[in-house]
Amino acid sequence: MTKTLVALFLLAIAVIAWSTSVGDAVKNTREIHDRNNDGNPERIVDSVVDGTNLVRRTVISDTNDDGVPDQKIISCYRNGKKACMFWRHMDQSNRTTRIFISEGRQVLMDDDENGDGYFETMFIFGTNGIPSAVFKIDKEGIPSPAPEDEFNKYVEEFSFGNEVIKPFLQTIVEVKK
């Protein structure tokens, strides 16, 4: 009986020590960016860091400077690498896009285009960053290949993004460093 009590006591101390060390390792930070000092921040960045690894970053933005946030992007990380993103338009559309990333590249994206909570379109990406398949999802969650003309439209849009927008965004990121 004494050995059991001692073992339980030691286990309780170990649990308390572990929980306090874990609590110290997780750090939440908030940055508020108000470029024009009008009291309405254009961007709020909340980050969660566990030890030295970024776990989650939430960016709430007012992209049209009307004083009302209109988009929220949540990025989740695994072992310091971005694993997925959730992009919500906080306007009338309430559109949400989920992007899943593996080995540094986008592999899957699904889109709730009308904000009703159902993701109507799913994209599977090739190694070139352009959709290799596009599916329309019905309310039951059953996918069907998108019509050929719609698929071609998406391929064209993503090709433009890879050729023009991606290098431009990379330049902005490099300037910020």
Residue 167: pLDDT band (50, 70, 90) is low
In 3D, which of 135, 154, 138 has the Cα closest to residue 146?
A: 135
Residue 20: pLDDT band (50, 70, 90) is very low
Rounded CA gap, 150 and 126, in Å? 17
- What's phi and psi for 28, nearest 5 deg? -105, 135
DSSP state of 21: H
Cβ–Cβ under 8 Å, residues 124 and 131: yes
Cβ–Cβ under 8 Å, residues 159 and 132: no
Give tens-digit pLDDT for 38-67: 888 889 999 999 888 899 999 999 888 888
Residue type (1 letter), 41:
P
Would the pLDDT of 108 be above 50?
yes
* pLDDT at residue 165, as a whole number: 55
Cβ–Cβ under 8 Å, residues 59 and 42: no
Domain ranges in the chain are 22-91, 117-177
